[in-house]
Structure 1
Amino acid sequence: MENLLTEQINDHLYYIGVNDRQTELFENMWPLPDGVAYNSFLMTGEKNIIMDLVKVNTISTYIEKVQEILDGGDLDYIVIHHVEPDHSSGIKNILELYPNVKIICNKKTAPFLKNFYNIEDNLIIVSEGETLELGNRKLTFYMTPMVHWPESMVSYEEETKTLFSQDIFGGFGTLNGAIFDDQVRFNDNYYSETTRYFINIVGKYASQALKALNKLSELEIKTICPVHGAIWRTNPEKIFNLYTDLAKQKVKDGVLIIYGSMYGNTERMAEAVARGVAKGGITDIKIRDVGKTSFSYLLAEAWETRGVILGSCTYNNNIFPPMSFLMEELKQQKMKNNIWGIFGSYSWSGGALKRLRGFVEENKCDVLDIQPEIQGAADEEELRELIKLGEEMAKAIIAKRELE
């Protein structure tokens, strides 16, 4: 019988994932203008095995897909690669339908199952490099801790060279009819939503991600099945290489200027800095208002851009609050390949530049010496100093390029 709700990946593996177009913020933080997909897979054979689950708000559609494939048969195993609720919160509903199912996880997953869902029974605990025979299917498990939770792991089916990668190789956005990489146009939007996903969700654990990628590079992989984004069956090297570049924080020769302004004076200063960057020979220049642009996008752009310049007005003898919040998030990212610039403004008493200096010093940033601090609106001499800041940033980027 033709499967109308699900998609066949190979002769014994089916895509049973769902799209979520209702949730506006991933983890209630990160914007989802194009929604998100929760991918799940069902492996058939002598035993029926679900690989990861979905978020409970999509469970009714998900159950229809499970039942279409099982067609009255039983479910034997659920593999939990990553227990974050967007991949596990539907588990209670599945257990109501299939109460005898066994749950495959690792020792760090078990406490999460107890704490989130009061599940302690029917667990099969796997360890690093262990291979399980599940009927006529075999899965080998590899631990990938802190990518991006401590219990995260992946599994590999050697027979079909398929990697079930949990959040690794994922991306934001729904799957709109097409689920495979050869059906999806990897355009600027798809690229940016994949990179934003990595930087927002995994970026702060980039060193652990790189260790996991190095481990997985030893496998012969023909298909990658992540829990978000497309299934990579034609060119898995493309997403593997992209994630490796992101984990290494490979930057491009551009400048991102992020400013915080209440009445436009600091914005005018940011424009002067940008003119200096352009005069210095850098053509990729972005100016972002920290009060209007989600920090999700600011983090993503900063991760990929060599030069980052932060400029803020003073607010109540301190820094503009949205800039303060952004700095806290930037600190968590632990970025190491950027060149930083800073400038501040104030009305009657300073504070912004002091906080910016504290940020670059605490994080041991490679920062430019020129750090303008301006009272009120910049006059001609002060505008020249701001232009000079931009020129110095361009000069530093070009010098870095020549060294590489």
Structure 2
Amino acid sequence: MDEPAVRFADLETLVAARGPPGAEYPVADAFAELVEPHVDSVGYDEMGNVVATSEGDPDAPEILLAAHTDELAVLVEDVTDDGFLEYAMLGGHYKGNFPGQRVRVGPDGVLGVVGPKSRHYMSGDEKESLAEDLVVDVGASSRAEVAELNVEPGDHATWDREVAELAGDRVTGRALDDRLALAVLLGVARTADTDATVHYAATVQEEVGLRGARATGFSVDPDVAIAVEIFPADDYPAGGDDGPGVELGEGPVVEFGDGTSEYLFGGVLVDRRTRSWLETAGESAGASLQQAVMIGGTTDATEFQQVRGGRHAGAIAVPCRYTHSPVETVSLADAHETAAVLAEALETPFPSRDEVRWG
């Protein structure tokens, strides 16, 4: 089997396609076109989820590998009389990322800016606090001028950032969460050699509640489901106070679990059989693996584990600095290793309960 590789050109294509929650079709179409030569079938459901299937032996397991197509965005709620766009946030934004940013709005990608209050008019407290009451300025002076730009309430806006190369093997851009994982799936699909039936899924609306995963998990109903993600790295000066827990360049992260609080509410607890399967594959692939719990967020694995009668589910992730920002930053070496681990896992028998402790 050829070594799976994540292609920068794929990543450029996937990031260039914009995919706010609920309007991910450009990303879904880009993924479908790229994966189609390497699978037996490609299908869409009514939500916009894509499932590309490589058929295997009927007696072998069915495995779902999934990454999501949506990205953080804002929803235009209203247009003011003087032509500014008021918005609601879609997904887990940090308000500090907004002032001074450029965005693309609506179906035609109209350029807009999110301008901060001039420092000259700020009080002392305002200079040290997060901005409030921000709007998008597209250069219009009235509601009518906004309408002429084909922008209206209900449209979306995403950051005006593409993917770019930094020094070494590092790349940066918006929406690497989760376009990088889609590029990982493409690397696996191009090279996988397995008896298993493999479903490569591109799910929608992950950032607003794992909604696409619920539909995909129900319709596919695999034996094992793995969410492919990014994982927040903390290996930089503002990353954390206790030293890095997850670092760029140290290999993919196999999750123990995740959740929305320190008590791991609303997330996934990964069973030992699934972890053992991924870890064994990592050893066989010669990959470095990191292990961690993600607090303050969840993955599609949560829905995959619970839907229908339940199944084995877990998550493997590429470390990423500055998550949920316009400048997410990753190491391509980590992405290559993630693809290698998944490709090896597809050739590794899933362990029986005799091989690992119950659970």
TM score, norm. by length of structure 2: 0.27
The structure with the largest alpha-carbon Rg is 1
Whose RCO is larger (CA < 8 A, sep 6+)?
A: 2
TM score, norm. by length of structure 1: 0.24
